[in-house]
A and B are shown apart, each in its own frame.
Chain A
Amino acid sequence: MKSLSELEAIRQKTLERIALRKEDRDDGVRIVIGMATCGIAAGARPVMAAFMDEIDRRHLRNVTVTQTGCIGMCRLEPMVDVIAADGSKVTYVKVNPEKARMIVADHIVNGHPVTEYTIGNYADQA
């Protein structure tokens, strides 16, 4: 069984790692997930879990995952914005865990947005 006493070791480990980390959150990427009723019903929770897992697995320390409410396009949920350090934003629609992992690999790690899944591509087809 987990206990609070484990946190002392975790505290030390985290402090050591933070000391090594360049505190350059300014050049970080933000992933923003829609977490309103429509987003949650459409599967935003497993999408969020997939992003977290992929980020941790790849030790991407400059990527943060946050949430937003309803932006009024329920049928395109789960929706995810990837916002670069310079403020430029790519919006992905109908994201699932598999797409989430691909977005991390292609867009965030390699710098090539997955245009196939972006809102622009969806609008062109509609």
Chain B
Amino acid sequence: MRDWSLHLLDLAENSLRAGAGLVSLGVSLEEDGRLIITLSDDGCGMGPELLRAVTSPFATTRSTRKVGMGLALAGQNAERAGGGLHVSSAPGRGTTVEIEADTRNIDCLPLGDLAQTFFSLICLNPLRPDFEWRLRSPRGEEHFDTREIRQALGEGISLGEPEVREYICSLLTEQCETVFGGIMQ
């Protein structure tokens, strides 16, 4: 993957497949340049055996392809940037993926376009699940939550309606710009 935002799109796909009702993303750039990413869901979770195997490139439960690469690739990129990837999960209790990387490390991937990642997820899944993010940097903090938007829109209007999509896209872009604009691409 070219950047973290693409890894996050890929990892969020796991949450969707796990039947999540809520997918929460936290992206925090610390004073000292460490990037801390947390992606959690309330999906089906994983048992200990799968959990142990899941960060090795030879684990997947899908039948069409023998090798799942998403978590393994993200883990490799985190380690290459002086950090790591950690997954905690239990059946019926959801899953949390934590990624740490040092943005001062020359091998650290760029952050990429987080807004496009969230926008894609919402456009492609306008009815369910809900998506939430919290972005943080020394510049400030922003919070986004599709539950708030659904509530303000009321019954009968999907997040997939073009007017709503346009609003969500510019809100996400604005929040990224406020928190990370000029410090990370």
Q: Which residues of A contact B (CB under 8 A)?
A: 1-2, 4, 6-8, 10-11, 13-15, 17-18, 33, 35-37, 40-41, 45-46, 48-49, 52, 56, 64-67, 69-72, 74
Contacts and interface: CB of A to CB of B under 8 A. Distances in A.
23 contacts: A1-B174, A2-B171, A4-B152, A7-B167, A10-B153, A10-B163, A10-B164, A18-B156, A35-B9, A35-B124, A37-B68, A40-B6, A40-B10, A41-B1, A45-B116, A45-B117, A52-B165, A56-B162, A65-B124, A69-B13, A69-B62, A72-B64, A72-B65
B185 interface: no
Contacts of B17: 69
A1 B164 CA distance: 16
A71 B154 contact: no
A66 B126 CA distance: 9
Nearest to B175: A2
Given A10-B163, A10-B167, A14-B161, A48 B123 contact: yes
Interface string B159-185: 011111111001100100000000000
A41 B149 contact: no
A71 B94 CA distance: 25
A14 B164 contact: yes
Given A2-B174, A7-B167, A66-B124, 16 more contacts: A2-B170, A4-B149, A10-B153, A18-B156, A33-B124, A35-B13, A36-B13, A37-B10, A37-B70, A45-B117, A48-B123, A56-B165, A65-B124, A69-B13, A70-B65, A72-B65
Nearest to B119: A49
Q: Which of A14, A46, A71 has the most CB of B within 10 A?
A: A14
B106 interface: no
Give the most central of B120, B154, B156, B167: most A CB within 10 Å: B120
Nearest to B69: A37
A36 B117 CA distance: 13
Among B1, B68, B117, B171: residue with most chain A CB under 10 A: B171
